Amino acid sequence: MFAARRRAGQIAHRLQRTTRSYASDAHSHHKPAEVNESFGKGSIATVGLFFGGVLFYQFTPKKDEESSLTNFISKYTSRAEDWEEINALHTKAMEQAGFDRNLFENASNKHRFVDVAYPEAFQSHAPRNIQAGHLMHLDSVVEHYRQQHLKDEDRKAKKLAAQKE
C-alpha cells in the first residue's frame, strides 16, 4: 500500500503542471515600461575589433621593411658586437695599466722600498696591556731585509748581464 502511494506521488510530480494565472495581473492599468534597446557591448566590441584589425593591417610593414616598433626595441637592446667592443677596450685598458704599473714599480731597483708584509708580524699579539717601552723598534729589521733585497737585485742584474754577453 505504501509502495503504491509512493509510486503515485512520483508520477504526479513528473506530470506537467499548468502555471497559475492570477486575476490581479490581467486587470492592471499600468503603462508598459519604456525599453532603451541599443546595440549590446558584444556587437560594439565586434565592430571595433573588425576596424582595429583593418587599421592594424594598414600599418604593418611591407615585405622588406622593418617596423617602427622593431626599430624602437632594437634601439634599447644590447647587441653582441657592442659587448665585444666594450670588452676589447676594457682588456686594452687593463693591459696598459699593468704595463704602466710594471714600468713604475721596476724603474730603479736601488731606491725601491722592500715592504715586509707588515713589520708588526715579528711581534704580533693583542695590543692590550702593553707596558711602555715593551714594543721593539723594528727599523733595523726592515733595513736588514731591504739590504738583502738589494743584494739579490745586484746578483740578478749581474747574471742577466753575463747571459747577454
* CA dist., res. 2 & res. 5, Å (int): 5
Cα 69 to chain centroid, rounded: 23
Q: Are 146 and 114 in contact (CB under 8 A)?
A: yes
Where are the chain's structural domains? 78-106
C-alpha–C-alpha distance, residues 37 and 43, integer Å: 13
Give me the pLDDT at residue 148, please. Answer: 92
The whole-model pTM stands at 0.29
Please list, in sequence order, all residues whose beta carbon lies within 8 angstroms of the beta carbon of residue 116, skipping any fewer than 6 positions away.
141, 142, 145
The angle formed by the CA atoms of residues 77, 79 and 66, to the nearest 5 degrees, is 65
Cα angle for residues 142, 144, 149 (degrees, 5° grid): 95
| Per-residue model confidence as pLDDT tens digits over 7-42 | 777 776 666 555 555 555 555 566 767 777 777 889
pLDDT score at 22: 58
pLDDT tens figures, 53-87: 998 888 787 787 787 778 888 888 888 888 999 99
Residues 6+ apart with CB under 8 A from 24: none
Residue 78, classed as helix, strand or coil, is: coil
Instruction: Label residue 149 by pLDDT band (50, 70, 90).
Output: very high
At 26, is the secondary structure helix, strand, or coil? helix
What's the pLDDT score for residue 103?
80
- Cell numbers for 42: 558584444
- Indicate the length of the chain as a whole number: 165
Q: In Å, how far from its chain's centre is CA 68?
A: 26
